[in-house]
Structure 1
Amino acid sequence: MCGRFTITRRDGNSLAAELGVPADSFVDYRPRYNVAPTQNHFVVRMRYENREVIPATWGLIKSGSKDASMAAKTINARSETVDTRGAFRDAFQKRRCVVPADGFFEWTGPKTARHPIWFHREDSRLILFAGLYEAWQKEQGVWQTTFTILTTAANELLESYHDRMPVILADRDADDWMDPRAPDPHALKRLLVPARADLLTATPVSPDVNDVDNDSPDLLKPPGQMNLSLRSG
C-alpha cells in the first residue's frame, strides 16, 4: 500500500519544470516530509493537450457523497479491481491523474516498535504515482477535489516490507495514463505493474515519521540523528 509519502523539492519553480507544468503552478508550495491520508496535496491531470496541477485532498470521495466518512478507507485503490469496484470505477474511466512525490514510507519491525523505511530514487528524481481524482460538494457551492493512489503487487525490493506498493509511472507513460480521451481505458491497465527492483533504494529513517504531526527535513535523517525542530507549525 502507500500510506505516507514525501515531496521535498525546495521550490515550486524547479518542481514545475520537472513536471512540465506552468511556472506559476506552485505559488503556495512548500516541501513536505510526511504527507498523510486526508491531508492536502496536489495532483497533475491532462487538460486538452497540457498538464495541469490542481490542489487535492488524499482520500477519494465520490461525487454525490454526503460526507467524507470514507476518505481514510480510499487512500489506495487496487489496480486489479480499480475498473470494477464502485468507489473507483467512474474515476478510472474519466479522471485519471498522477500524484507527484519523491519517496514513500513502509514500516518494519514489531507493532510495538515500528521502524520506517523511506523508498526513493537514488538520483533524487520525482516519482509519479498513478492516481484517480474526484470532486464532491462539501457544502452548498463548495467543491473539493480528492484523490487516491493505485497499488500493485510489491516488487523484489518491497516484498520484504509489504505485499503491495504504489504504481509508479514512467514520465513517458504518464500522459497516456492521464489522457481523458483514451479510447480504451482498460488498455491502460498494462501500465499498472510493479516498478523494476532497481528503480528505488531503501533508507531507514527516524521513527518520528510515525507521528503525522511531524513534518521536517530531519525526519529523513538516519535514526538517532534528530533535533527538536520536528513540528511543521
Structure 2
Amino acid sequence: MCGRFTITRRDRNSLAAELGVSPDSMVDYRPRYNVAPTQPHFIVRIKYENREAVPATWGLIKSGAKDASMAAKTINARSETVETRGAFRDAFQRRRCVVPADGFFEWTGPKTARQPTWFHREDSGLLLFAGLYEAWQKERGVWQTTFTILTTAANAVLESYHDRMPVILADRDADDWMDPRAPDPHALKRLLVPAPDDLLIATPVSPDVNNVDNDSPDLLQPAGQMSLSLRSGQA
C-alpha cells in the first residue's frame, strides 16, 4: 500500500519544469516530508493536451458524496480491480492523474515500536505515482479535488516490508496514463506493474515519522546516523 509519502524538492520552479507544468500552478507548493491521508497535496493531470498541477486532497471522494467520511478508506486503489470497484470505476475511465513524490514509507516491528523505512531513488529523482481524481462539492459552490494512489504487488525490494507498493510510472508512460481521450482505458492496465527492482533503495529513518503532525527534513535522517549523533552528543 502507500500510507505516507514525501516530496522534498525545495525549488518550486525547477520542480514545475521537471513535471512539465506552469510554475504559476504551483504557487502554494512547499516541501513535504510526511504527507498523510486526508492532507492536502497536488496532482498532475492533462487538460487540453497540456500538463497542469492541481491542488488536491488525499482520499478519493466521489462527486455525488454528501460528506468526506469515506476519504480515509480510499487513499489507495488496487490496480487489479480498479476498473470494477464502484469507488474508482468512473475515475479510472476519465480522470487519471499522477501524484508527484520522491519517496514513501513502510513500517516494520511491533505496534509499540514501529520502525519506518523510506523508499526512494538513490539519485533523489522524482516518482510519479499512478492516481485517479474526483471533484466533489463539500459545500454549496465550494468544490474540492481529491485523489487516490494505485497500488500493485510489491517488488523484491518491498516484499519483506509489505505485499503492496504504489504504481510508479516512467515519465514517458505518464502522458499515456493521464490522457483523458485514451480510446481504451483498460489497455492502460499494462502500465500498472511493480517498479523495477533497481529503482528504489530502503533507508530506515526517524520514528518521528509515526506522528502525522511531524513534517520536517529531520524525519529523513538515516536511523543509524541519528544514533551516532545522539551518542556523540552524550559523550
- TM-score, scaled to structure 1: 0.96
- For structure 1, the residue ranges without an aligned partner over 5 or more in a row are 228-233
**Residue 183 of structure 2 corresponds to which residue in structure 1?**
183
Cα distance, 1:225 vs structure 2: 2.5
The answer to whether the aligner puts 1:8 opposite 2:8 as a matched pair is yes
Cα deviations by residue, 1:87-144 (Å, 9 ceiling, x for unpaired): 0000000000000000000001122211000000001110000000000000111100
Cα deviations by residue, 1:61-82 (Å, 9 ceiling, x for unpaired): 0010000000000000000000
- For structure 2, the residue ranges without an aligned partner over 5 or more in a row are 230-235
**Residue 225 of structure 1 corresponds to which residue in structure 2?**
226
Say if 1:132 and 1:148, in contact at 8 Å, map to a contact too. yes
**Residue 214 of structure 1 corresponds to which residue in structure 2?**
214
**Residue 153 of structure 2 corresponds to which residue in structure 1?**
153
**Residue 232 of structure 2 corresponds to which residue in structure 1?**
none
Aligned-partner Cα distance in 2 for 1:191–1:219: 32
Cα distance, 1:145 vs structure 2: 0.4
Alignment of 1:1-233 (within 5 A): 1-223=1-223, 225=226
Cα distance, 1:222 vs structure 2: 2.0
Letter in 2 for 1:156: A
Letter in 2 for 1:123: D
Say if 1:12 and 1:25, in contact at 8 Å, map to a contact too. no
Letter in 1 for 2:226: Q
Aligned-partner Cα distance in 2 for 1:173–1:163: 24
Cα deviations by residue, 1:124-176 (Å, 9 ceiling, x for unpaired): 11000000000000011110000000000000000000000000000000000
Aligned-partner Cα distance in 1 for 2:192–2:71: 22
Q: Percent of aligned pairs with the same residue?
A: 87
Cα distance, 1:24 vs structure 2: 1.8
Cα distance, 1:23 vs structure 2: 2.3
Letter in 2 for 1:174: A
- TM-score, scaled to structure 2: 0.95
Aligned-partner Cα distance in 2 for 1:27–1:70: 29
Cα distance, 1:14 vs structure 2: 1.1
Aligned-partner Cα distance in 1 for 2:75–2:117: 19
Say if 1:11 and 1:29, in contact at 8 Å, map to a contact too. no
Aligned-partner Cα distance in 2 for 1:25–1:164: 32
Letter in 2 for 1:164: R
Cα distance, 1:25 vs structure 2: 2.2
Letter in 2 for 1:22: S
Aligned length: 227
1:225 alignment partner, SS class: helix
